[in-house]
Structure 1
Amino acid sequence: MEGAGVGIRALSTIIDGIILAIIGGIIAIGLGINVGSGHAGNSYYIWSLLIGFCYYTYFESNKGATPGKMLCGLKVVKVDGTPCDLSAAAIRTACRIIDGLFAYLVAAILVWSSARNQRLGDRVADTMVIKVK
């Protein structure tokens, strides 16, 4: 199996980011959080983290890919080729806090330096992102 490269993974992350921004905006409106005022405080940040964690963990453990990955023809699997399970998806998602530093530059460097094109979350969870044939 060949791991997916940085470019296509970045595109899928951008798509997922747009989807998450829309979901977050809808929830913020529903909760009466005025994000544009600059006074949203920690509540919006906490909700955003929770929504993102649930989004990535759910889709990667149940569908093998987030909507962004699906649109880009990508899938998350264990390195042995078996489907990504709940614990692996949760670990991958938790590691996004580090992988996402400096606009995902940390993740990009790790993918470039890995024979399997794995970011930190993939390495810790023993997963990889592959192109779906």
Structure 2
Amino acid sequence: MSFCSHCGTRLPLEAKFCPACGGAVELSGAAPEQSEPDAQSRREAQPGHAVIPSLDYVGLGKRFVAHLVDLIIVFIIFYVIGMQVAGDVGGVTQEGFSLEGTPALVTMGLSFVASLGYFMLTEGRNGQSFGKLVTGIKVVSSDGSPCSMRQAFIRNFLRLIDGLFFYLVGVILIARSDRNQRLGDRIAETVVVRKAKVAAKGSYVYRADGAPEAETGEGDKVKFRSSWGIKKGRDAWDL
């Protein structure tokens, strides 16, 4: 088991990049092997230890919510393009616009290209569309490295297949995957994970060897984590 030397996040097996900060994994910075196989589990059971969670694949729930948020943006893109095309062909109505035939096809085609560009740019740059940012999830490569523009393009272009029958195809593939991957994820070699929380400055971080590291805050204050604070949803307390 190893941890990121930059932010302290627990790394998945054979990871080349940290899924939290994107930093390259340094072999020299890997934590030493535990003397006993259950040493880490015993430390997790001890109160007062803030253990950084491991990589966690996201299922249908949060992905559905994130996509609903993104659909609002996609609808805005469609409406703006539709109004522009309708204004050119005289299809503007009191309720919005009405298009048929070629203008309708042009509107749908331009909307798809613009929406694909939205997902590709946001996920290709930091792994998060607006919906994923709101729900705290992100897209990364299967090995934990950041999602590339090429991967973002592939996984979102294949929404044409995953989205068939009101996303029934994507839902079935996610449910049958041990890493919750739809077709776009499998072809692009990406996964959707919960974004790991980076330990706050001035807090204790317990690594694989059990030795805590602490940083002091401003003045004489020292921040630390407690089991009570974690249960109450608080990251740190000041002394």
TM-score normalised to structure 2 length: 0.53
Partner of 1:19: 73
Contact 2:77 2:115 in 1 (8 A): no
What fraction of aligned residue pairs are identical, expressed as a percent?
38
Greater relative contact order, per chain length (Cα 8 Å cut-off, separation 6+): 1
Please state if 1:46 is matched with 2:109.
yes
5+ residue gaps, structure 1, are none
5+ residue gaps, structure 2, are 1-54, 197-239
- Structure 1 residue identity aligned to 2:125: N
Contact 2:82 2:97 in 1 (8 A): no
SS in 2 for 1:43: helix
Max Rg structure:
2
User: RMSD of the alignment, in Å?
Assistant: 1.5
Q: Distance in 2 between matches of 1:20 and 1:14?
A: 10
- Structure 2 residue identity aligned to 1:86: M
Superimposed CA distance per residue, residues 11-50 of structure 1 (whole angstroms, 9 cap, x where no aligned partner) = 1111101111012212322342647424242111101110
How far off its partner does 1:2 sit? 2.3
Higher fraction of helix = 1
TM-score normalised to structure 1 length: 0.92
Q: Which one of 97, 108, 117 corresponds to residue 171 of structure 2?
A: 108
SS in 2 for 1:130: strand
Please state if 1:93 is matched with 2:93.
no
Contact 1:12 1:72 in 2 (8 A): yes
Alignment of 1:19-38 (within 5 A): 19-31=73-85, 32=87, 34=91, 36-38=97-99
Superimposed CA distance per residue, residues 68-118 of structure 1 (whole angstroms, 9 cap, x where no aligned partner) = 111011100001100000111111011110000111111111111100001
Aligned pair count? 133
Partner of 1:75: 138
The 4+ residue runs of structure 1 with deviation greater than 4 A are none
